[in-house]
Amino acid sequence: MGRFHDLYKKTYNLSEEKDREYFDCVKDYYYTDEFQSLKSHIQHGSVSLIQHIKSVSYISYRLSKRLGFDFYRTARGALLHDLFYYDWHDPDPSHRLHGYYHPGFALKNARELSRKNNLELTELEENIIYRHMFPLTVIPPKYKEAILVCLVDKYVATKEIIICSSGKRSTKFFSEVEGEK
Ligand SMILES: [Fe+2]
Ligand SMILES: [Fe+2]
């Protein structure tokens, strides 16, 4: 688990120069105003939605590459898997059942963002986005890359919940991350 933890920590310090190959995969979406707007939303505790997405996308990219999967589409699909523009912690009644509905919102937003920027969104990427909440949403992912992202998303969400479960843990984690810059 130590290696996974190190990989997870690394996702907080990704650099466009050192991790160029990863950024080359996702840059078409990453630098759009829509994607950058996710920075202000919180996912779990003190982790932003954009950081959550980066963790899922980068870890999925690395594993996908290691396993000989389509890492380019894995990185892109994972980058779009939680593309929703609201804070799901808001008590707004339309945000109830967020867990069930957000894959559909993310897919709709990903299609719009792709159309606007003239980017091809493949069936594989759509499957990554739409099926990532399995087994909460009952239909499983269809492609190996989509299964991978579904698993990595759960790993990352669990890490975030653990890190944010106590002030002490969170201080320790973020000072480690800072120390590795
Ligand atoms: Fe999600
Ligand atoms: Fe997610």
97-153 per-position pLDDT tens digit: 888 999 999 999 999 999 999 999 999 999 999 999 999 999 999 999 999 999 999
Distance separating alpha carbons of residues 171 and 173, to the nearest angstrom = 6
Q: Above 80 in pLDDT, residue 9?
A: yes
Show the domain range for 145.
2-179
Residue 27 Cα, ligand 2 centroid: separation in angstroms?
19
Q: Compute, in angstroms, the gap from residue 82 CA to the centroid of ligand 2.
A: 5
Confidence of residue 65 (pLDDT cuts 50, 70, 90): very high
- Total domains present in the chain: 1
Whether the Cβ atoms of residue 64 and residue 72 lie closer than 8 Å to each other: no
pLDDT for residue 167: 87
Residue 154 Cα to chain centre, angstroms: 10
Q: Which ligand is in closest contact with the Cα of 104?
A: 1
Q: pLDDT value at position 85?
A: 86
Integer angstrom CA distances of residue 156 from 49, 117, 149, 169: 12, 29, 10, 16
Reported confidence tier of residue 80, pLDDT bands at 50, 70, 90: very high
Contact indicator for 56, 156 with CB cutoff of 8 Å = yes
Q: 10 by DSSP, 3-state: which?
A: helix
**Average pLDDT value for residue range 77-81:** 98
Average pLDDT in the 48-76 region? 97
Helix (H) or strand (E) holding 47: strand 47-48
Checking if the pLDDT of 165 tops 90, the result is no
DSSP 134: T
The predicted pLDDT at position 1 comes to 57
CA nearest neighbour of 128 among 73, 88, 66: 73
Strands 42-44 and 47-48, by their bridges, are antiparallel
Report how far ligand 2's centroid is from the alpha carbon of 157 (Å): 7
Ligand number nearest CA of 132 is 1
CA 88 to chain centre: 15
